[in-house]
Structure formats: structure tokens, C-alpha cells
């Protein structure tokens, strides 16, 4: 923030600044510089705290995933409703641009690829 004219300054600011500048310093310059350096230098406990929060967050995520996985395995697979039999999917010959991938024994996944030009066409 810059002030061009004296009118832009708050009332009494210039007088307060002069009074403050006229005071004698409470610390010697060398002592003030030492205190400032101490505050700016990294401390060992600060370095320790830098990795503590990410490590705790990672541990919480791992614990949550492990407990969710354990609960899922304890429940076992969901039972099939009565009267529903396992389906048998019969797949005939597929065109060259279709790839069949089975996600599980009952779930086919079809990947349709772009057709390749034949006969040297571009």
C-alpha cells in the first residue's frame, strides 16, 4: 500500500511514527539479530513434525483398508437368491476388431477396437 499525498495517511500516523522512531532501542542490534536468526533457523522438532502428519494419515488409510478387507472376507460372498442358477455364456466366433475379456466366470467384457483398413487404403 503506497500513499501519494499526506492526506491519504490516517490522522496522527505521521506523529506516531516520529515518536516511535525517536525511542531508544530496547535491544542492542547484535542481540536483536541473534534472536531473529534463532527464530528463522529450522529446529529439529519442526523437522520431526513435518513427516508425522503424513505418516499418521497413511497409517489411518492402511488401517481402514485392512479392516474393510477383513470385514468383507468374514462375511463371505453374497448368497445366491433361490431359483437363480449360474448362467452359462456361450460365445461364438467374434469379428477381428472385438476382444473378449472375462472379468470373472460369469462376466464377459467386450472391447471393440477400430477397424483396420485393408488392401492398402489409408
pLDDT by 10s per residue, the chain, length 122: 555 566 677 888 888 989 988 998 888 999 999 999 988 887 666 566 777 888 889 999 999 988 887 776 655 666 666 655 666 666 778 888 888 888 887 788 888 888 766 655 54
Residues forming a β-bridge with 104: 107
The residues spanned by each domain of the chain are 27-74
The contacts of residue 109 (CB under 8 Å, 6+ apart) are 100, 101, 102, 103
Determine phi and psi for 16, rounding to 5 degrees: -65, -40
Per-residue confidence (pLDDT) for residue 35, from 0 to 100 = 92
Is this prediction's pTM over 0.75?
A: no
Per-residue confidence (pLDDT) for residue 88, from 0 to 100 = 63
Per-residue confidence (pLDDT) for residue 33, from 0 to 100 = 92
Rounded to a whole number of angstroms, the CA Rg of the chain reads 37
The Cα–Cα gap between 55 and 61 comes to 10
Amino acid at each position: 500500500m503506497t500513499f501519494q499525498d499526506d492526506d491519504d495517511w490516517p490522522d496522527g500516523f505521521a506523529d506516531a511514527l516520529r515518536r516511535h522512531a525517536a525511542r531508544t532501542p530496547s535491544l542492542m542490534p547484535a542481540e536483536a539479530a541473534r534472536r531473529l536468526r534463532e527464530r528463522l533457523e529450522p529446529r529439529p522438532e519442526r523437522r520431526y513434525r513435518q513427516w508425522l502428519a503424513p505418516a499418521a494419515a497413511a497409517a489411518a488409510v492402511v488401517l481402514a483398508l485392512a479392516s474393510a478387507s477383513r470385514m468383507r472376507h468374514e462375511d463371505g460372498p453374497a448368497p445366491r437368491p433361490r431359483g437363480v442358477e449360474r448362467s452359462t455364456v456361450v460365445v461364438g466366433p467374434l469379428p477381428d476388431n472385438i476382444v473378449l475379456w472375462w472379468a470373472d466366470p460369469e462376466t464377459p467384457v467386450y472391447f471393440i477396437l477400430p477397424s483396420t483398413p485393408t488392401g492398402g487404403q489409408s
